[in-house]
A and B are shown apart, each in its own frame.
Chain A
Amino acid sequence: MITFMNNSDSEEEPCNERTSLMSAESPPVPSYQDGLQTAEAGEAQAHRKRRTGSSRSPNNIADGDMSDSGVPVRESALENEEEELTLKYGAKHVIMLFVPVTLCMIVVVATIKSVRFYTEKNGQLIYTPFSEDTPSVGQRLLNSVLNTIIMISVIVVMTVFLVVLYKYRCYKFIHGWLILSSLMLLFLFTYIYLGEVLKTYNVAMDYPTLFLVIWNFGAVGMICIHWKGPLQLQQAYLIMISALMALVFIKYLPEWSAWVILGAISIYDLMAVLCPKGPLRMLVETAQERNEPIFPALIYSSAMMWTVGMAKPDTAARGGASQQTWDAAEDGRENHRSPLHADSQMSETRSPGPTRPITSFEELEEEERGVKLGLGDFIFYSVLVGKAAATASGDWNTTLACFVAILIGLCLTLLLLAVFKKALPALPISITFGLVFYFSTDNLVRPFMDTLASHQLYI
């Protein structure tokens, strides 16, 4: 799920009156069918809404003094500034997400192509109990569908459990759960990964050194993710744990089950985020009502929110910043895989600066705006590309095609985000494109390109 970071309080009532004003002022945008144009136009709308949402306070206060005719004029000036900012930031947001997604995929593909361990079949998770070693195709398909059903049900149950916990304010339980999972991910999985990499390159490492390395890596990771840390380091840790989780999935999910699960999870994501009674949507709305960030983990945030010279004392800003750094995500408790990944699909709709009373325009302009993407999205993108790298008969074209498809899907999702301005599922479009490109490239393009290459023909 992806959203813009929004530093305003609840936007319902004021935004209604503003949107009606805004639509009158907004410049005519020809069509909403084209990519970039709507990207920019959409980003313009989004930023306009955000800016007006966030600058609501000063305007509301000024409203008392201003006449009604003054407000639309002020609005149009606002809109121009916003559109200008939109153009500056719209494409930047896309790149801010392209880079980490690409890095995560590079790590996963590099590991898959070099470390044999992650492509060997060594058993299956308990969530996919049915084996795919059956002779008949029908049986295999049936088994993979059953595996998918079990996996998705586990995910749904865990997500609902998490929503219930959140609704009844069992924060300590949730925090404990998250900390336990990130402990396992940062220590155990890293240890296994490091062991396999060392085995692949035949490098010897003694246990004391190993202990030191793993201990430092894990401890710094826990601090960065759950408490405070430099933004870049936090982002790096999030990318690494997403990659580790994706590798676990690539290793332990059987072939066909993995593809069916990818398809099913994007449908589930779509429903969970968009349906009125969807668990993730309820979670987002509950968080919005309470004006607090959704979870202190599981979200990759691309920028830190800070304001310069706020009316409120600095503690609020720093608190905001640290909470932002908290919004790192961890994810991947194997045992409770589902909720994690489901949670990780949530992202905040508002930043932790809701109690900021008045912000002037200059301060707003100095804020770094960013986009948030759930870690589950990272994980499933990487699973798709990693599976393509692992199983596409040594072919790099398939991997690259899936990579481009996922990036384009992400771009389109961000476009829709700018148009609709609410939390959106990030999986469906990318995974659909990725799956289509995987199967078509593997079966159609690969023989064509191989035949051309064998004659050294270029198209």
Chain B
Amino acid sequence: MGAAVFFGCAGIAFGPALALVLLTVAAEPLRVIVLVAGAFFWLVSLLLASLIWFVSVHLSDREDAKLQYGLLVFGAAVSVLLQEAFRFAYFKLLKKADEGLATISEDGRSPISLRQMAYVSGLSFGIISGVFSVINILADSIGPGIVGIHGDSPYYFITSAFLTMALVLLHTFWGVIFFDACEKRRYWCLGLVVASHLLTSGLTFLNPRYEASLVPIFIITLCTGLWAFVTAGGSFHNVLKCLSCKQEDDSRVMMYSALQVPFED
């Protein structure tokens, strides 16, 4: 308990996300805007899902514990589906933005590619989702208390932190795969992403049996990561090239023209 647990769990949960943001997003204003707008979209989806859950709870019998648990499961499933729906909506918006940016840019190419936007939007969904899941838990971890005093698992904080980390990474990967699938109209990929999200959420229902929930979730994270890597154009060859730090011969020709034809619409 105390500061050690707080900093440790915060580091575990948000370390990768923070590193990714600092290294890839923070320097570019457009990416920061995409990040914040993605968070907004996720929040709206959560709002709608909470509304549905809230209404269903109020219409039902409060005393029945099993019913309430069932409604919670239902609410979680609705939330997952809404998140993916809003991811699709965000894809549509970013696609339009991409076209607009390309139109008004001088060389016909937008300053940010759709793949970069896919990555940043996935990251934004992941960060806001992780933050909303774990920030109250982190805030409680500072204060005095004993974990699991009523018979619950004493590993609550650390497993929450690991789950959050997995969730952040998963959202990033799903973002990349999702946008690529929408671009190339591979709807089976879309379905697989949604199914994988539902599966991950469902696995958390097995908590506190952490070996049944954490381990499969991390396996899913790894597989989704590899899938996203391949989708984004990575390959074993690329990794080798990157690791060998070879200087690539710039075979591109530098175009320089002093005379520019006036840009005609």
Q: From residue A384, how far is it (CB to closest CB) to chain B in Å?
A: 15
The answer to whether B97 and A34 touch across the interface, beta carbons within 8 angstroms, is yes
**B48-83 to A contact mask, C-beta < 8 Å, 1/0:** 011101100000000000000100100110011001
A219 interface residue (CB < 8 Å to B): no
Contact A34-B100, Cβ < 8 Å, known A98-B36, A455-B207: yes
B256 interface residue (CB < 8 Å to A): no
The answer to whether A36 and B36 touch across the interface, beta carbons within 8 angstroms, is no
Which residues of chain B (94-132) have a CB below 8 Å from chain A? 94, 96-97, 99-101, 103-106, 111, 128-129, 131-132
Contact A397-B132, Cβ < 8 Å, known A91-B29, A408-B40: yes
Contact A40-B76, Cβ < 8 Å, known A441-B47, A459-B83: no
**In the complex, what distance in Å separates the CA atom of A36 from the CA atom of B117?**
12
Q: Which of A37, A84, A394 contacts B101 (CB 8 A)?
A: A37
Q: Which of chain B's residues have a CB closer than 8 A to the CB of A457?
A: 72, 76, 201, 204-205, 207
**In the complex, what distance in Å separates the CA atom of A455 from the CA atom of B36?**
29
**In the complex, what distance in Å separates the CA atom of A56 from the CA atom of B9?**
58
The answer to whether B106 and A84 touch across the interface, beta carbons within 8 angstroms, is yes
The answer to whether B80 and A459 touch across the interface, beta carbons within 8 angstroms, is yes
Total contacting residues, chain A, CB less than 8 A: 58
The answer to whether A453 and B135 touch across the interface, beta carbons within 8 angstroms, is no
> Secondary structure of the B side of the interface?
helix
The answer to whether A87 and B111 touch across the interface, beta carbons within 8 angstroms, is yes
Which residues of chain B (159-209) have a CB below 8 Å from chain A? 159-160, 163-164, 167, 200-201, 204-205, 207-208
Q: Which of A37, A44, A404 contacts B128 (CB 8 A)?
A: A404
Q: Which of chain B's residues have a CB closer than 8 A to the CB of A95?
A: 29, 32-33
Q: Which of chain B's residues have a CB closer than 8 A to the CB of A385?
A: none
Q: Which of chain A's residues have a CB closer than 8 A to the CB of B159?
A: 456
**In the complex, what distance in Å separates the CA atom of A62 from the CA atom of B32?**
41
**In the complex, what distance in Å separates the CA atom of A71 from the CA atom of B101?**
26
Q: Which of chain A's residues have a CB closer than 8 A to the CB of B167?
A: 458
The answer to whether A449 and B132 touch across the interface, beta carbons within 8 angstroms, is yes
Residue of A nearest to B131 (CB): A400
Residue of A nearest to B57 (CB): A447
A246 interface residue (CB < 8 Å to B): no
The answer to whether A453 and B76 touch across the interface, beta carbons within 8 angstroms, is no
**In the complex, what distance in Å separates the CA atom of A27 from the CA atom of B39?**
31
Q: Which of chain A's residues have a CB closer than 8 A to the CB of B262?
A: 73, 76-77
Which residues of chain A (428-459) have a CB below 8 Å from chain B? 437, 440-441, 443-445, 447-453, 455-459
The answer to whether A400 and B135 touch across the interface, beta carbons within 8 angstroms, is yes
B226 interface residue (CB < 8 Å to A): no
The answer to whether A34 and B129 touch across the interface, beta carbons within 8 angstroms, is no
Most buried by B among A29, A86, A394, A458: A458
Q: Which of chain B's residues have a CB closer than 8 A to the CB of A397?
A: 132, 135-136
Q: Which of A41, A394, A459 contacts B100 (CB 8 A)?
A: A41
Q: Which of chain B's residues have a CB closer than 8 A to the CB of A443?
A: 54
Q: From residue A176, how far is it (CB to closest CB) to chain B in Å?
A: 40
Q: Which of chain B's residues have a CB closer than 8 A to the CB of A44?
A: 104
B93 interface residue (CB < 8 Å to A): yes
Which residues of chain B (5-52) have a CB below 8 Å from chain A? 28-30, 32-34, 36-37, 39-40, 43, 46-47, 49-51
Q: From residue A306, how far is it (CB to closest CB) to chain B in Å?
A: 21
Most buried by B among A36, A39, A44, A443: A36
The answer to whether B53 and A30 touch across the interface, beta carbons within 8 angstroms, is no
The answer to whether B100 and A38 touch across the interface, beta carbons within 8 angstroms, is yes
**In the complex, what distance in Å separates the CA atom of A30 from the CA atom of B100?**
8
Q: Which of B33, B72, B135 contacts A455 (CB 8 A)?
A: B72
**In the complex, what distance in Å separates the CA atom of A440 from the CA atom of B33?**
24
Q: Which of chain B's residues have a CB closer than 8 A to the CB of A445?
A: 46-47, 50, 132
Q: From residue A235, how far is it (CB to closest CB) to chain B in Å?
A: 18
Q: Which of chain B's residues have a CB closer than 8 A to the CB of A444?
A: 47, 50-51, 54
Of all A-B residue pairs in the complex, the 3 with the closest CB atoms, nearest first, are: A37-B100, A36-B97, A91-B29
Report A's interface with B, CB cutoff 8 A. Answer: 25, 27-31, 34-41, 44, 73, 76-77, 79-80, 83-84, 86-87, 91-92, 94-95, 98, 394-397, 400-401, 404-405, 407-408, 411, 437, 440-441, 443-445, 447-453, 455-459
